[in-house]
Amino acid sequence: MSFEPNPEHQHKTETILAMMRATSIGDTLTYQDMRERLNEPVASQHYALRCALDDAKDEHMVFVNIPDVGYQRLSDAETATKGVRRHIRKVYRAAKRGLRTAAAIANPMGLTQGERVNWYAQRAVLESIKADAHGNSVNAKTKKTEREPSALEREMERVRAQGGVT
């Protein structure tokens, strides 16, 4: 069975994309403008809007949502800060959730050697992502230039001391 694009959906996506192209940097494309042009609420055209936003990025136009108003077009400088920062925050929160899940293992020593190595590796990757996404900033209170060992590093040292993974 082959996939055939829906012409109505493509038309709505192109209509929204044309409106985005006509939006100047710093201006806002309002939900009301889109509703008037599509002759229906934008909420019912979420997929077409998502596709138009993705297509706009392919054309070097980035928009951010302004709740209950619409989408504002960002300049390149704003994209480098606002537009990207939102994604970094999502990655940071996801890494934190993953670390919480990994820390839920009550007895790491009950895992096989292979499972324990895999568990440590996954935690190390999540710790690295979390640290990079958070910015690895210098601790302002202590003015230390060397970072403190992470919870994962302390845990690994404790397990090594108990004769676990080397």
pLDDT digits over 80-109, tens only?
Answer: 877 677 778 888 888 888 888 888 888 888
| Residues 67 and 106 occupy one common structural domain | no
41 inside domain: yes
121 inside domain: yes
1 inside domain: no
In this predicted structure, the answer to whether residue 20 has a pLDDT above a threshold of 60 is yes
Write the DSSP assignment of 6-30 as a string of letters. Answer: -HHHHHHHHHHHHHHHTSPTT-EEE
Last residue of a domain, one of 21, 49, 74: 74
Give me the pLDDT at residue 147, please: 63
Question: What does the pLDDT average to over 5-24?
Answer: 90
More confident site: 139 or 58: 58
Give me the pLDDT at residue 28, please: 95
Residue type, 150: S
d(CA 114, CA 147): 30
12 inside domain: yes
Question: Number of folded domains in the chain?
Answer: 2
If pLDDT is split at 50, 70 and 90, which confidence band does 53 have? very high
CB 65 within 8 A of CB 76: no
Tell me phi and psi for residue 135, to 5 degrees.
Answer: 110, -10
More confident site: 20 or 165: 20
Give me the pLDDT at residue 123, please: 87
pTM: 0.57
In this predicted structure, the answer to whether residue 45 has a pLDDT above a threshold of 90 is no
80 inside domain: no
| Residues 95 and 139 occupy one common structural domain | yes
Q: Which domain holds residue 140?
A: 90-161
Q: Rounded to the nearest 10 degrees, what angle do helices 84-102 and 113-134 cross at?
A: 150
